[in-house]
Amino acid sequence: MTIFISYSRKDGVIAHLLNYILRSKGIRVLIDKDLEPGSDFDSQLHSQIEEADAVLVLMTKNAVSSAWVNQEVGFATAKGKEIWPIALEPEIEPQGMISTVQKYSLFDWTDPYISIEKLVSKLAKGSFCTDFDLVLRGEAARTRFLVEKLKDLQNTSKELKIYHQAAFSAFSVSGTKEFLLYHSDTLLDLFIQERESLDNLVRKKNTEFKMVLWPVRAYDTGYLARRYHILEDWLRSVDKSNPNIKVIIGRYAKPANRLIVAGEFVFDGRKVSGRPGYSESIYQVSPTSINNAIKLFEQNWRDLEAEGKNAIAEISRLRDEINRPQIPPSS
């Protein structure tokens, strides 16, 4: 496989080090340092990109605002090349052509040796680096990716421990008209797939499932009542027959929307200012990230468990509150 490395000139030390490492591992790399002096720079860069199977973009704050990097990504996109962005700094906000990429990998600097080995392995196989931490952009891409991960877990015979916190969760979703007012047909179909996949997984005898919900939102009354009704139905359907499923209603620690599968991944929804919904999501696979997320969840769980509230009773109470007629204040 042949890789073209796109990077900001300000990050040349990292780019050339990675070039050396990848070549030493037997991967063919094209990079601008190999271009002949005095030649037409643009045409040679375009030739390298055309020759490459994929473009590896080293994303830093320098790179996302670099005209050269965005031009290279734009040309590679026009030529139908795979784009594999690797974020080398936290909290990257892609701009220009890079912002059109649906997902990109996060490089784990806590153990760069393992991250390099993962990168080499994936490049050698010619597949996207899904063993890295990923950032997914857009609600549809996020939900589609999550559905794939949940379906992959269906076939495992090992015991699973799953932890989930959300406002309502996928268990309060249906295809009724109330939901179509808020979501497109495509997105609603993905939400229903997520519900079915997660439901199948948590009902398995080898799965231990804990969920914290805090369904207090300023939604339209009819929409809110419908979600409470669907959620209560689901809770009643698993209450007696699935002792491995435990649900608590109460406030949770941030990030709000989080799904953890022990030993597998942490999946966080992240709101970006000025954008509706979870427009970015982070998929983390490093053991440190997973273990820290579980510790935080379990501490919050113990605090809420001490309050001793029944989940079905709490959802029923919330539903009754919004359905209660409002008495106008006396004049």
pLDDT recorded at residue 328: 46
Q: Is 138-323 assigned to CATH 3.30.870?
A: yes
Residue 172 CA to residue 226 CA, distance in Å, equals: 8
Residue-wise pLDDT for 73-129, tens only, equals 999 999 999 888 998 887 788 888 888 887 888 887 777 888 888 888 888 777 666
Residue-wise pLDDT for 190-234, tens only, equals 999 999 999 999 999 999 999 999 988 877 888 888 889 999 999
Contacts of residue 147, defined as CB under 8 A and 6 or more positions apart, other chains included, come to 190, 193, 194, 197
Q: Give the whole-number percent of the chain exceeding pLDDT 70.
A: 89
- Half-sphere exposure for 72 (CA within 13 Å, toward CB): 31
Domain ranges of the chain: 2-135, 138-323
Contacts of residue 128, defined as CB under 8 A and 6 or more positions apart, other chains included, come to 82, 84, 103, 122
Q: Give the whole-number percent of the chain exceeding pLDDT 90.
A: 43
Residue 228 CA to residue 319 CA, distance in Å, equals: 6
- pLDDT: is 193 or 42 the higher one? 193
Residue 111 CA to residue 131 CA, distance in Å, equals: 14
pLDDT recorded at residue 33: 66
pLDDT, average across residues 276-280: 65
pLDDT band at residue 40, thresholds of 50, 70 and 90? low
pLDDT recorded at residue 329: 46
**Fold designation for 2-135:** Rossmann fold (3.40.50)
Contacts for 96-99 with beta carbons within 8 Å, 24 or more apart? 96/64, 96/65, 96/70, 97/70, 97/71, 97/73, 98/57, 98/59, 98/63, 98/64, 98/69, 98/70, 98/73, 99/137
Q: What is the pTM of this model?
A: 0.81
- pLDDT: is 254 or 158 the higher one? 158
CB 151 within 8 A of CB 195: no
Residue-wise pLDDT for 238-248, tens only, equals 988 899 999 99
pLDDT at residue 330 tops 50: no
